[in-house]
Amino acid sequence: MGKRIFYFLLTNVLVLLTISIIFSLIGGGNYINAQGGIDFGALLVFSAVIGFSGSFISLWMSRWMAKKMMNVQVLDPNGALSGAELDIVEKVHRLSRAAGLTHMPEVGIYHSPEVNAFATGPSKKRSLVAVSTGLLQEMDDDAIEGVIAHEVAHIANGDMVTMTLLQGVVNTFVVFLARIAAWVASRFVREEMAPIVHFIAVIVFQIAFSILGSLVVFAYSRHREFHADRGGADLAGKDKMTHALQMLKAYSSRIKGEEQTAISTLKINNRSKASLFSTHPDLDERIRRLSAK
């Protein structure tokens, strides 16, 4: 599962843990009342502050982190570009204008044999569309346009911001429930050990509940792929979008069983069979729904 967790989610978990530990060390979030019980109202406010802070910090870092982790080469539209690079930039800008975007996304290429592309960024004004060298080598022009249209649709739909808000709600419940569970666990040890047990239990339960909470995020990720497919069809044409998905399916079948690192929830292609921990629906289902559109 680790190779299929998208960097936004990983960053969110780490940021959430960091903020929680800092708050605990400085004595923030006093939700234990005078009787030693939990003030649920204060805990809920505390949880929301930490939860939404974590998700928005993750969103703010998303474009920078994707560039660093994937070693993306950003293409300067005003610089000297090769034919293929210029063609990618032109496609992204043309489809972005068609989608009504007033600020053009950054365009990048990352070196990888996988056939994939991704879109990310904290807002429509500060977004990034990147394609792999494998995609440029394996796909024809119509399929590449369909893939790029899909990624531009993610940006136009505001999927990153929507996912951030959803992640903030999930984070709030993760922090809230983790502290209740930690408080309960600390009741079963000696009084002098209770603070240490509570501190450690918060971290353990927060990681465990974050994994469970990721199921909600993954479910939304699968849902948004259908919308991005339809958006891509509106921008590039239904035939090109369907052709792109069919080529992705053929590629997936050809390299089935191979292992490649992927930030799958950002990308168009997730080769694993759809499940609760999948970030993308099954390609056959995506093609079927798009054909029925």
- Cα 134 to Cα 110, 116, 144: the distances in Å are 9, 7, 11
Nearest to 23, CA basis, from 169, 201, 186, 202: 202
Kindly list the distances between the CA atom of residue 291 and the CA atoms of 95, 236, 271, in Å, as whole numbers in the listed order: 21, 15, 20
Amino acid sitting at position 1 = M
Q: What is the full DSSP assignment across 137-204? A: HHS-HHHHHHHHHHHHHHHHTTHHHHHHHHHHHHHHHHHHHHHHHHHHHHTTS-TTTHHHHHHHHHHH
Indicate the angle between helix axes 283-291 and 194-236, nearest 10 degrees.
40
**Catalytic sites, residue numbers:** 151
The C-alpha atoms of residue 101 and residue 93 are separated, in whole angstroms, by: 9
How far is it, in rounded angstroms, from Cα 145 to Cα 131?
A: 11
